[in-house]
Each structure stands twice: as C-alpha cells, then as structure tokens.
Copies of this chain bind each other. A is one copy, B any other.
C-alpha cells in the first residue's frame, strides 16, 4: 500500500507539503497541488481519514457530477480553457472522492437520471430552476457549485464575486481612472451577475458613470463588442468578468494597435493558470478554485451522512492580484 512518502517522492515535494494539501493547512500553489493530487491518484493513496470516512459512511457513496452543455462547448473549443477553471475544480472533487472511498461519475445536466446516485454536485450557470427541480425530485443531497438560484434553499458554494469585483474596480478608481467600462458574460450566471453588481456599486460610490457590454464567451464574439467600443471614445480601463474574456479583449485591441496597459488598462477575474503567462501578464482577481471544489465535496459528504443538514450558501473570499495589464 502506498504511503505518504511514496506520494511525496512521486510528486517531487516534501511529505509536509503532501500533508498541507490533504488538510488545507496553508496555501499551496495550484501547480504543486496538482502534482500531489496526480501522485495520490496514480498511487491510489488512501490517507488515514479515508478509512474513517468509509467506516462512517458504511458504503461507497456514488456522486453525480452534473456538467452543462455550455461547459462541454468551452471544453471542446480548447481543452486548456475549460481545464483552467472548472477542470481544476473537477480534479479536486475527484481526488477527494477517491480519498474518501466515494465514486464520482460525470453526467450531463440535461440527461435523464437512470442511475442511482447518493448525492449530486451541480456545476455552473447551466443549472436552471427547471434542471434543479429534476435533481431535487430524487430527494438526494445537492450542492450547487459556482452558481446560486435566487430563492432556492440549496447548499451552494461560490466565490465572493461581489467584493472581488468591487475591490478590483476600486483599485482602478483610486489610480485616478474615471472612464472604466465592464464587459461581462451572460448575467443568468449568478457569478457574472454579482461581479457586475460589484462593478456598478463601485462606480456609483465614486459618482462615476458605468457602462456595460454583454459578451458571450461560448460564441466568442469579442470582435463585435470591441468594434462597438472603439467606435466611441476609447475607455481608460476595462474590467472583464473573467480572464478568458480579458485575454480575448487584449488580443483584439492589439489588432487595432491599442497597447495594454499603455492605452487601456485591463483587469480580469478568476486567475486561471494562463493569466500569469499571458503577454502582458494579467492583473486579475484570484478565485480559489480548489478550495471551492474541496468545500463543495466536504459539504456534500456531510449531507450524504445526514449531518448538519440545514442548507447554507458559502462564499469563498477572493484575492486581488496585481500584474502588468492593469
């Protein structure tokens, strides 16, 4: 049987680091964490709490991980892009499930539920009220991840989108910029909506006029949006509702010889791994993706054990990361 030393050796890190990953006792970089999780999976390593968890559950829980077609589109288009955000969350959930002796099976939100599951984690904005109803009808525990449906008392795990956006926009305002626009994804996404609210409130607080443009990252019609924007007065800064959008904005502006950050400052959201390697490196708001995955898994596990059943909504704090683009 694999030991913690085997995991550390294969991952090329210390056993202390493996322990930090297992217990989330300190911030470990996403790269290091990924290496450790990979080694754990490869060696089929079961930490001490695994046996305890299995004894407590008395059976191998089967978890349905519900993904939307929209996520599939993003993944098809570029495996890397999808893997930069939801990929990290999904990997975390699968690793934790393995360590807890549970089984995770991906399923499409739109599919019929022929199989029996003990609980569900439903990911992202594709979860509509109608889709949620279908899952609720199974009467199994559900955790919504990176989404929330107003008025539904369903356990949800989100990043603190509002405050993250508010702080990022405030940073631009404090640097003296007044003409700051916001390009955002579909506002049916609770996360995009709250980032949008944070932008609107920061601008209102500073008595500045807000201006928003909607952009669909699945269609990738950023060229149309940018054409509309540069027809008017070019803004001093753009706050994008995620990093992918921010990077596409920069690429598009480059075609018009509009330099970043000289001419326009750009700030993204998420801090996907690509963000720091981009040219220029992206100023952004870090979303703690692994923590979100880990909190969602642990909450579902608790619910499957029928413990602490009263539903809650958990917001994971974000962090502003200043690089070169804004």
Residues of A with Cβ closer than 8 Å to B? 23-27, 150-151, 153, 160, 163, 167, 288, 291, 294-295, 298, 306-317
Query: Would you call A313 and B306 a contact (CB within 8 A)?
Result: no
Given contacts A160-B313, A291-B308, A313-B314, list 9 more A-B pairs with CB under 8 A.
A24-B309, A25-B307, A26-B309, A27-B310, A150-B163, A291-B310, A295-B308, A310-B316, A313-B317
Could you write out 28 A-B pairs with CB less than 8 Å apart? Answer: A23-B306, A23-B307, A24-B308, A24-B309, A24-B310, A25-B306, A25-B307, A25-B309, A26-B309, A27-B310, A151-B163, A151-B167, A153-B317, A291-B308, A291-B310, A294-B308, A295-B308, A295-B312, A298-B308, A310-B317, A311-B317, A312-B315, A312-B316, A312-B317, A313-B314, A313-B315, A313-B317, A314-B314
Report the bound CA distance from A24 to B163 in whole Å: 31
Contacts of A295 in B (CB 8 A): 308, 312
List the B side residues contacting A291 at CB < 8 Å: 308, 310
Give the complex CA separation of A309 and B288 in angstroms. 12
Instruction: Name the distance in Å between A58's Cβ and chain B's nearest Cβ.
Output: 15
Closest to A315 in B: B313
Which 5 A-B residue pairs are closest in the complex by CB-CB distance? A24-B308, A153-B317, A313-B315, A291-B310, A25-B306
With contact pairs A150-B163, A313-B314, A315-B315 given, residues A308 and B23 touching in the complex (Cβ less than 8 Å): yes
Q: Which residues of B contact A151 (CB under 8 A)?
A: 163, 167
Chain B proximity of A37: nearest CB distance (Å)? 16
| Contact residues in B for A306 (Cβ distance below 8 Å) | 23, 25
**In the assembled complex, which residues on chain B have CB atoms less than 8 Å from the CB atom of A308?**
23-24, 291, 294-295, 298
A160 to B152, CA, bound (A): 12
Residue of B nearest to A298 (CB): B308
Q: Which residues of B contact A316 (CB under 8 A)?
A: 310, 312
Contacts of A310 on B, CB cut-off 8 Å? 24, 27, 288, 291, 316-317
- Chain B contacts for A153, CB-based, 8 A: 317
Contacts of A307 in B (CB 8 A): 23-25
Nearest Cβ distance between residue A165 and chain B, in whole angstroms? Answer: 13
Q: A27's closest neighbor in chain B, by CB?
A: B310
Contacting residue for A314 out of B24, B294, B312, CB 8 A: B312
Closest Cβ of chain B: how far from A36's Cβ, in Å?
A: 16
Report Cα–Cα, A311/B163, bound state, in Å. Answer: 14
